[in-house]
Amino acid sequence: EIVLTQSPGTLSLSPGERATLSCRASQSIDSSFLAWYQQKHGQAPRLLIYGASNRATGIPDRFSGSGSGTDFTLTISRLEPEDFAVYYCQQYVSIPPKTFGGGTKVEI
């Protein structure tokens, strides 16, 4: 099973600042199968990034993804008030399980 470790657990930032979130895999994965989700309190998750760097429909361009192999990054260039939430990475290679990371909380 591929284990995803996200860091930091919590990121305390101010609106307008840059956020850099890390996701490390226990073994190398094809970047085509790495996604990022945003979950606000009391809401379902929302797909932000897939294939490591492709923004999902309707996602603002302040969100960007990068990385390969075992190290992946989600960057929010300038935090807006609505961006404070929990972010999860996920690998969805064909062999199950399609694991999620433990999440990074971005707080004000």
Edge-to-edge strands of the sheet including 19-29? 4-7, 19-29, 63-76
Residue the block writes with tokens 């302040």: 62
Q: Which is nearer to other proteins, 13 or 56 (CB)?
A: 56
| Region of 18-26, 61-69, 76-84, 87-95 interacting with other proteins (CB under 8 A) | 87-95
> Which residue among 55, 67, 90, 106 contacts other proteins (CB under 8 A)?
90
| Binding residue (CB under 8 A) for other proteins from 19, 23, 25, 50 | 50
Q: 40-77: string of b/e by CB count within 10 Å (b at 16+)?
A: eeeeebeebbbebbebeeebeeebbbebeeeebbbebe
Applying CB under 8 A, the site for other proteins has a residue count of 26
For other proteins, which residue of 2, 13, 31, 56 counts as binding (CB under 8 A)? 56
Q: Angle at Cα 60 formed by Cα 70 and Cα 36, nearest 5°?
A: 25
The contact set with other proteins (CB under 8 A) reads: 1, 33, 35, 37, 39, 43-47, 50, 56-57, 88, 90, 92-94, 96-103
